[in-house]
Amino acid sequence: MAVTDGVRHRLMSCLLPATPPPLIVGVIVAAVVVIAETAVIAVLHAAYPRSQPSAAVYILGVVALTTVWGVWLGIGVALASVLMFNYFYLPPAGLHLSVDQDLQRAVIFGFVALASAGLADLARARAIEAQARAIEAQLRAAEADIAAEVARRVLGQDELPSGLRAGSECLAAGFGLSRVSIEVGDPSGPDEIAGATTLELGVEDGRPGRLVVADDTPPATLERLRDRLGPALTEIVRAAVRRQELIDTLWASQQATQALLAEQAALRRVATMVANGGPPEEVFAAVTAELHRLFQGFHTALLRYEPDRTVTVVSERDDDGRLMPDRPRLPIAGENVVSTVLRTRRTARIDYDTSTGPIAEELRTRGIRRGLGVPIVVDGATWGVTRIVSYRPEPVPADAERRLQAFTELVATTIANTENRARLIASRVRLVTAADDARRRIERDLHDGPQQRIVSLALRLRMTQKSALDDRSAMRDLMSDTVRTLTEIHQSMTDLARGIHPALLTQGGICPMLRALARRSIVPVELQLRVPDRLPERVDVAVYYVVSEALSNIAKHARASVARVTVRADVRRVWLSVSDDGVGGADPDRGTGLVSLRDRVEALGGRFSLVSPPEQGTTLTAEIPLVEPDGTRGEHADPAQ
């Protein structure tokens, strides 16, 4: 079928050319055709002499010549055919035109010429239209092939810019253009599209897209690019942009996943070291090393705040990951990461180009530009800061605070574990020492008091044994003296026993005992007692010794005019406070007995704190739970015991 259509198309092209041959050629062909038709009629008449010659043969020539050269040549051929037939085949011989026959033939031949010309023009128009449609189909097929190739090249590249360059090269080759460029986004400069024609491509999301071609591009090609290929190019570029966005999203997700896995692995390594009880120095070094792996190119450090408002670097690594040597303490002043974290107890981001203070000046000399610090909080106090700083002008990453916070918590746990372990060891030593001191004190008190009196009484009894038996008066004196001495010994033993464990605690509870302490205190005491029920014995004893030792310290060291004791209790805990208006400056490390009080309170699961600024008095607070570790409430001592 395709072959037949091709033959028909070529035949129609020959019979109905879009542009007829020259008229002189038509005249020559017409003469040849008329002569040939006349010869054919002669041959037919010779073959059939009895039949009349027919002029119908001339109609074929009229139709053929009219179809190719038009109506005027057809009419001329029709007239020539009538003359030739009249001259050769109508008797008598020679030219003798007649109205009834020759005019009729001329009219018939003319009508045939006109009809043939009309049909030929119609057929020629249809042929031209079919040819135009064929050309259009070929063009569209070629454009579709070009669009498909552009799509293959644009979407076949890993990155959008390289894909757009490959698609531009394909368009230039397909349309024979000197310059073609598919672009997405704003032009980088005014000279980028100079000397070129721009066709807009609406990509999406308000992002401009365009097809840039040379100024010498033919208008027909521009029209094809804009009207026919433009929509396809728009969809191709949209698909490429979406694909690039998807690739970027997947790449960012992959990077975030890898960063999270690396962070979790680093945290696991540090947490394992912390759980195994690693020394703080090793944990600090490990933390700065892991932070450097996570924040490539950053300077990482752990710093500790000192009581004299200076800061000590406990572990520090440069941007290459090298552990830096120890440096002297720096004073905390100005506006920088260290001072801001200490003041606000919150994360601080600092621009060291504008920060102040000795620390900021020291970092600027090393080229540091940006910094971030997260506070290390141990037991409610700001122990130090985890800091990262950068030489680059770009801000510290937004997620750096979250990532630093996890490591900071591990550092705080390490410090708390170390301090608790040190406190436990120290408290054990103090408890052993206190027990030894108590035993020696009891031994000394017994030796210097009741024991000496008993020995003295025994000697006197032996010395007066014989004389006392003969003298009744001496016997009565001896018995009276013995009773008095035994009474004194009993009183001394009672006082000693009360010093070991106050009897009022077992008899009336903590409130009567605290009132007795307040009455015996040299410094006036204001009592506020809100204890609705009897407390467990262990809590009674702890509260008694805390208040007793605190009042003793106030009397010895505070030079206060008044002391205030507050004790409150509910079903879960007891809270006490002892404060004064003295000179302050109390320090548990100077052996004032406050350390033993902390040990006693913390041994019961409580919390102990001391605030004693110079010249502003001292406030001691303690909170002791009333619930045993097994969840039960301890009972108070039996008064009968």
Q: What is the DSSP letter of 589?
A: G
Q: How far apart are CA 394 and CA 624, in angstroms?
A: 51
For residue 301, list its beta bridge partners: 316, 387
- pLDDT higher than 90, residue 565: yes
Model confidence band, residue 362 (pLDDT cutoffs 50, 70, 90): confident
Q: Indicate whether 292 and 396 sit together in one domain.
A: yes
Cβ–Cβ under 8 Å, residues 455 and 447: no
**Token representation of residue 190:** 């005014």
pLDDT, tens only, 367-408: 888 888 888 888 778 888 888 888 887 778 777 778 788 778
Domain of 91 in residue numbering reads as 2-135
Q: How far apart are CA 226 and CA 626, in angstroms?
A: 86
In a domain, 435, yes or no: no
Of 219, 390, 158, 381, the closest CA to residue 296 belongs to 390
Q: Indicate whether 306 and 412 sit together in one domain.
A: yes
Q: What is the CATH number of the domain that holds 380?
A: 3.30.450.40
Q: Indicate whether 230 and 287 sit together in one domain.
A: no
- pLDDT higher than 70, residue 585: yes
Q: Which residue has the tokens 């944990």?
A: 283
Model confidence band, residue 5 (pLDDT cutoffs 50, 70, 90): low
- pLDDT higher than 50, residue 192: no
Cβ–Cβ under 8 Å, residues 634 and 608: no
Question: So what's the pLDDT on residue 564?
Answer: 93
205: exposed, middle or buried (C-beta count within 10 Å: 0-12, 13-18, 19+)?
exposed
Q: Indicate whether 288 and 230 sit together in one domain.
A: no
Q: CA torsion, points 102, 105, 106, 111, in degrees to nearest 10? A: 160
Q: How far apart are CA 74 and CA 58, in angstroms?
A: 11
Of 301, 286, 288, the closest CA to residue 337 belongs to 301
Q: Indicate whether 302 and 226 sit together in one domain.
A: no
Q: Which residues contact 261 (CB under 8 A, 6 or more apart)?
A: none
Q: Indicate whether 308 and 264 sit together in one domain.
A: no
pLDDT, tens only, 146-182: 888 888 888 888 788 888 888 888 888 887 777 788 8
Q: Indicate whether 259 and 329 sit together in one domain.
A: no
pLDDT, tens only, 436-449: 565 566 656 555 55
Q: Indicate whether 269 and 339 sit together in one domain.
A: no
Angle between helices 104-156 and 57-69 (to 10 degrees): 40
In a domain, 431, yes or no: no
Q: Indicate whether 80 and 91 sit together in one domain.
A: yes
Any idea which of 412-426, 496-510, 568-582 has the lowest mean pLDDT?
A: 496-510
In a domain, 167, yes or no: yes
Domain count for the chain: 4
In a domain, 339, yes or no: yes
In a domain, 454, yes or no: no
Strand residues in 288-447 grouped as ranges (E): 298-305, 310-317, 330-331, 348-351, 370-378, 381-390
In a domain, 146, yes or no: no
Strand residues in 457-524 grouped as ranges (E): none
Q: What is the mean pLDDT of residues 424-445?
A: 58
In a domain, 633, yes or no: no
Model confidence band, residue 563 (pLDDT cutoffs 50, 70, 90): very high
Q: Indicate whether 78 and 182 sit together in one domain.
A: no
- In the chain, % of residues over pLDDT 90: 4
Q: With H, G, I as helix, E, B as strand and everything else as coil, classify residue 200.
A: strand
Sign, CA torsion 268/273/277/281: negative
pTM for the whole thing?
Answer: 0.47
pLDDT, tens only, 609-635: 888 888 888 999 999 998 765 555 555
In a domain, 80, yes or no: yes
- pLDDT higher than 70, residue 574: yes
- pLDDT higher than 70, residue 410: yes
Mind giving me the DSSP string for 541-563?
A: HHHHHHHHHHHHHIIIII--S-E
Of 311, 324, 328, the closest CA to residue 384 belongs to 311
- CA distances to 265, 274, 299 from 269, rounded to whole Å, are 6, 9, 21
Q: Indicate whether 415 and 285 sit together in one domain.
A: yes
Q: Indicate whether 252 and 285 sit together in one domain.
A: no
For residue 317, list its beta bridge partners: 300, 323
Q: What is the mean pLDDT of residues 287-307?
A: 83
Model confidence band, residue 191 (pLDDT cutoffs 50, 70, 90): very low
Angle between helices 23-47 and 57-69 (to 10 degrees): 170
Q: What is the CATH number of the domain that holds 569?
A: 3.30.565.10
Question: So what's the pLDDT on residue 169?
Answer: 84
Q: Edge-to-edge, what's the strand order for the sheet holding 207-214?
A: 180-184, 207-214, 196-204
Q: How far apart are CA 513 and CA 543, in angstroms?
A: 10
Per-chain mean pLDDT for the chain = 76
**Token representation of residue 336:** 């920088």
